[in-house]
């Protein structure tokens, strides 16, 4: 799993669901730095969110032949799109996304529950699992969606994604041990490539 590189809003801790923002120069650099690690993996398929930040991350990381998967879109934050947690808590003291959810927004941002995000993550996993017998499947997407997907991989409730912090421009690996779902690596930052 690859979380896309930094955008202006992710740097500012703004909830970025369906707003389609480009990567910052730092986000592009971290995405490109993932290429070396990804080149060493036996990747047989790549699925990416339709958001330009995910597609550009995949491109810069050297992932080829990707399939755009709308189920990998980030959580639809509804009326909280573009707002920071601190801004939301001025209106809703004590608000916590994983417990309290979002409010409806406009037609482009109707909002989703954590269960709805979990249902989308399950669909992604249903498509990826049959391919794992041939090698690794790369998923390029967003922080909250990938956290929910990780919870579902582990057989946990979608809301348990709250337990897994995930930074921009990072690589994480889900796998199995004794046929049980595990996290193999988590939140690994891009390693700078050696200059020759």
Sign of CA dihedral 51, 53, 56, 58: negative
37 pLDDT band, cuts 50/70/90, is: very high
First CA to last CA distance, the chain: 29
6 among known catalytic residues: no
User: Does 25 have pLDDT greater than 80?
Assistant: yes
Which of the four CATH numbers 3.40.50.300, 3.30.390.10, 3.40.630.30, 3.40.50.1240 does domain 2-189 have?
Answer: 3.40.50.1240
58 pLDDT band, cuts 50/70/90, is: very high
Collect all residues with Cβ–Cβ distance below 8 Å to 5 and sequence separation of at least 6.
23, 24, 26, 27, 28, 29, 30, 31, 53, 56, 57, 60, 168, 169
User: Does 173 have pLDDT greater than 90?
Assistant: yes
190 pLDDT band, cuts 50/70/90, is: confident
User: Does 175 have pLDDT greater than 60?
Assistant: yes
Annotated catalytic residue within 4, 15, 109, 144: 4
Q: Per-domain residue ranges for the chain?
A: 2-189
Q: Where are the beta strands (DSSP E) in 49-157?
A: 66-68, 136-141
List, for residues 131-160, the tens digit of each pLDDT value: 999 999 999 999 999 999 999 999 999 999
Mean pLDDT of the chain: 96
Tell me what percent of the residues of the chain surpass a pLDDT of 70: 97
57 pLDDT band, cuts 50/70/90, is: very high
Would you call 101 helix, strand, or coil by DSSP?
Answer: coil
List, for residues 79-137, the tens digit of each pLDDT value: 999 999 999 999 999 999 999 999 999 999 999 999 999 999 999 999 999 999 999 99
Annotated catalytic residue within 6, 15, 28, 74: 74
15 among known catalytic residues: no
Chain centroid offset of residue 123 CA: 15
Question: Residue 193: its pLDDT value, please?
Answer: 56
- Closest to 61 measured CA to CA, from 169, 146, 166: 169
């Amino acid at each position: 799993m690859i979380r896309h590189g930094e955008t202006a809003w992710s740097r500012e801790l703004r909830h970025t669901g369906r707003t389609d923002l480009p990567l910052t120069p730092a986000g592009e650099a971290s995405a490109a730095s993932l290429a070396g690690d990804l080149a060493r993996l036996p990747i047989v398929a790549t699925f990416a969110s339709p958001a330009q930040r995910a597609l550009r991350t995949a491109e810069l990381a050297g992932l080829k032949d990707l399939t755009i998967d709308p189920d990998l879109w980030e959580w639809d934050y509804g009326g909280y799109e573009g707002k920071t947690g601190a801004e939301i808590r001025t209106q809703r003291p004590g608000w916590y996304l994983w417990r309290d959810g979002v409010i409806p927004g406009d037609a482009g941002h109707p909002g989703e529950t954590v269960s709805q995000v979990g249902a989308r993550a399950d669909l992604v996993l249903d498509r990826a699992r049959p391919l794992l017998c041939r090698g690794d499947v790369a998923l390029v997407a967003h922080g909250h969606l990938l956290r929910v997907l990780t919870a579902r991989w582990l057989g946990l409730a979608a809301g348990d994604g709250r337990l897994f912090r995930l930074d921009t421009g990072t690589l994480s690996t889900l796998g199995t041990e004794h046929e049980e779902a595990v996290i193999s690596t988590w939140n690994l930052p891009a390693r700078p490539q050696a200059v020759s």
